Amino acid sequence: MIFDFIKGEVILIDKEKDWTSFDVVKSVRNSVLKTLNQKKIKVGHAGTLDPLATGLLIVCTGRKTKEIDLYQGADKVYEGIITIGAVRPSYDLETEISETFDISNITRENIFDAAKTFEGQIEQIPPMFSAVKVNGFRAYQLARDNQEVELKKRQINIHYFNITKIEFPDIYFEVKCSKGTYIRSLARDFGLYLNNGAHLKELRRLSIGEFSVSDALTISRVKQLISGIS
């Protein structure tokens, strides 16, 4: 595989857990600069994945960075696990459980019915622990300082929200959604609809537009290829 990073490349990476999207971009950039003996090159990603999430991350270099907005605007498909009966401030495993609920009265039918109510155009409030800017600061910075964060609702589109397996308290799902959707917020709202609590236990991005994680490479393999190791 031959790369032309200056002309531009679109690299599909299967992001590992505990890497930030910026970590991936930084790693690719440093590898490219070292290999090409350059001082500067444009590298960016098309759609942030939370550190605890895995899956497809599109990284663009050189002139291909001009296409980032195009990829960011594409629909995305995720699979994951929502755990009901417990609330966490970050809506995922980043923070500790702040409140628990009895789930003994929730049925399988309740779960399937709840999922259907989120399909179509809906309004969603981003998580407090997110990169959304509030008065020049990232929301997560304010949230970690225990400051009150008021985020505006945004309109999103959930093309489908399929429940694939139920193993109480864990709800396995697959969802196809529009740009700007926060699956953590979807998990939180799912719990609220059930008059209960919920948070996101696992998340993996399967696709962005026509790009699939099945065609993606690990970051270590990408770095090998950049260095010319076949």
Q: 67 and 21, same structural domain? A: yes
What pLDDT, on a 0 to 100 scale, did the predictor assign at position 18? 95
Q: For residue 230, what pLDDT is reported? A: 44
Residue 3 placed within a domain: no
d(CA 42, CA 66): 10
**Domain ranges, residue 65:** 10-73+210-226
What would the two tokens of residue 211 be?
Answer: 């790009």
- Can you count the helices (H) and strands (E) in the chain? 6, 13
Q: Which two tokens stand for residue 128?
A: 């407090």
Of residues 60, 77, 76, the one with CA closest to residue 68: 60
Residue 50: active-site member:
yes
Residue ranges for the chain with pLDDT beneath 70: 1-2, 129-148, 150-151, 229-230
4, 18, 23, 50: the active-site residue:
50
Question: How many domains, the chain?
Answer: 2
Regarding whether 93 and 16 lie in a shared domain, the answer is: no
118 falls within a domain: yes
215: left (phi over 0), alpha (psi -120 to 50) or beta: alpha
Same domain, 31 and 126: no
| 137 shares a domain with 115 | yes
Q: Are residues 146 and 221 in the same domain?
A: no
| 82 closest CA partner among 192, 196, 198 | 198
Residue 60 near residue 9 (C-beta atoms within 8 A): yes
CATH number, domain with residue 86: 3.30.2350.10
- pLDDT score for 133: 61
Amino acid letter for position 174: E
Residue written as token pair 């300082």: 145
In a domain, 4, yes or no: no
Distance CA 133, CA 136 (A): 6
**Both ends of the chain: CA-CA distance in Å?**
8
| pLDDT score, position 148 | 66
Same domain, 147 and 86: yes
Q: Is the peptide bond before 126 cis (omega within 30 degrees of 0)?
A: no
Digit-coded pLDDT (tens) for 53-72? 999 999 999 999 999 999 99
Check whether residue 113 and residue 178 sit in a common domain: yes
2 located within any domain: no
